[in-house]
Chain A
């Protein structure tokens, strides 16, 4: 029943906030609903760990180690982001960038977005999974254009069209999958249930499945932000409100990748060949390389980190493509640390841009002097995301790279060079922002509310801990999930 609590609380929150989202205490309500969601998710996680996988509601929902881990992560980051967005959105409103009506839209859509993501994760039906993924796009489109600036409208339009077209391919893939499944399982709703499909994946028709996977890959891959399907991503991240960038980068990409991985498991079962894995590795590698080279030309700080997200998604995709217990483990770990770190970075970036009144990198300087906690947060977060030990991103990158050295040695130098290029690019951008004197020609803005530091440092602390120590239960959990992925 925790499942319904997990899904119900953001849905209810969405409805409530659609009604009262512009009132004084709406932000608190947003936080409260997110906290309830997280508690429910924690309860669900505890149940699954204690009792093993569960399938409920006429097999429409299935929870195993793989998705419960993502449910917990999603609910957690959604909660911390809600906490962050409370002062952030108030400052935005105080700076006159938002009206009450838009604030209501924001709050309602935030909850509904959480709902759709959790639905993607929890549903056992691949059709519903598609529906929910599309819904996740729809809920965030209006958030991206929240400021109604020309740039934000453009970004939202591109986001809508590219993801819409992309996701349509995924629907075609799902239809083909259903077509193949129907021949084995018979017509009807059961034929799209993942648990049923994975049980019979060996007898699915390989030709159909491989074509289906192409469509699924292009479809969900667009949402993951794999190069060359990534073009919506930097625009959408840069132009939306920062909490939205945080959840887009930290959560939505993960969720889309989750969908892709679920499909990959079926394809692997059917084809008994590394076809799907090779495709994933190829796209992953391409994403890492191209994103790394994009980084050095960025002038907008949020765009910079959007490309960094593409790079990391590429890395995770590569890891899942490679497969095997270590790489899958590493991929899951990287998902965790990436979403924690990246959202933390966006928290810091958000307040930094509010303080400077701009997102242009060259115009933000001397954060250490202006606001040391934000400055340190941004610097440490950037170092963490670039894979500097002792942060957790290094742990997962170490595992991915070392496993690649064993199984795909040719790819390792490419990955390492790209990571080094990315390192140079990001540090060369972030360092001048953090250090030095604040610019004198652009006046700093006053922040009428205290910036949210706690979510930022909580995330960084967890990431730091994961670099030095992965608690055995968590490791066991990852291992189970990795076994599911294969």
Chain B
């Protein structure tokens, strides 16, 4: 009885997680469509927040204590530290911040839809194996990764590209929590450390690039090529 009920109507936490996943996907699309970089940073922070919430939810339903730590790391890093760093960077670098995309946004959206379909298809056999509460979300995680990838391709300035990179990291994290209840702690710490150092290095880079090129437009960075 209960098993059939579980099949027909998923438990409440599971529904909630699915909802959060859907919101994350929505944010991913929003980021893809967003032209303003400040909004982009805020969207990224919101995505981090939802990620934290879903991680907490998974931790609570499955009572996996180490996931609380994961949630904490996410909260600190992706909701607080990184958006802050990005905001400060923007203020310090003080450049006009309209995002120019290389491909028109409607086109990007259509490609994004195709990617989502692909991701869901890809995730189908994997989700079937998963015993976790959030198994349906794996497809969304893959979609978020691919959409972030797409965003990196279409952006011509350095900061949005980096945000795309970080959004990809979010997608990965989401996949880790939803499909496997999180990676082993030591690994997660290592990943967090890498992301943090990466951001620091990026900050250094932004200053160096601006110093040299007077702009963060990465179209200046097209000198090294074959001719």
Contact = CB atoms under 8 A, between A and B. Distances in A.
Interface of A: 125, 127-128, 130-132, 134-135, 138, 141-142, 145, 148-151, 153-158, 160-161, 164-165, 168-169, 171-172, 174-176, 178-179, 182-183, 187-189, 191-192, 205, 207-208, 211, 234-235, 238-239, 294, 297
Contact of B194 (A134, A176, A187, A239): A134
B198 A138 contact: yes
Contacts of B224: 151, 154-155, 158, 234-235, 238-239
B176 A175 contact: yes
B61 interface: no
B186 A127 contact: yes
Contacts of A189: 184-186
Given A153-B212, A154-B221, A164-B198, 11 more contacts: A127-B184, A127-B190, A128-B190, A134-B194, A138-B194, A148-B208, A151-B223, A155-B224, A172-B145, A179-B126, A189-B185
B152 A131 contact: no
A182 B212 CA distance: 49
A174 B122 CA distance: 16
Interface residues of B, number: 48
B161 interface: yes
15 contacts: A130-B191, A135-B197, A138-B194, A153-B208, A153-B213, A155-B224, A161-B152, A175-B179, A179-B130, A183-B129, A187-B180, A189-B184, A207-B126, A234-B224, A297-B226
The 8 A-B residue pairs whose C-beta atoms are closest, nearest first, are: A127-B187, A131-B190, A189-B184, A154-B221, A235-B224, A134-B194, A207-B125, A179-B180
Contact of B122 (A125, A175, A187, A211): A211
Contact of A171 (B165, B172, B186): B172
A150 B223 contact: yes
B181 interface: yes
A278 B148 CA distance: 29
A160 B201 contact: yes
SS of B interface (majority)? helix
B218 interface: yes
Interface string B149-184: 100100000100100010011001001100111011
B213 A150 contact: yes
A155 B183 CA distance: 33
B205 interface: yes
Contacts of A208: 125-126, 129
B26 to A, nearest CB: 21
Given A150-B213, A168-B172, A156 B180 contact: no
Contacts of A154: 220-224
A101 B184 CA distance: 38
Nearest to A177: B180
Given A127-B190, A150-B223, A211 B183 contact: no
Nearest to B225: A235
Contact of B168 (A168, A205, A294): A168
Contacts of A125: 184, 186-187
B202 interface: yes
Contacts of B186: 125, 127-128, 189
Contacts of A164: 165, 198
A150 B212 contact: yes
Interface centre among A132, A138, A149 (most CB of B within 10 A): A138
Contacts of A151: 223-224
Nearest to B125: A207
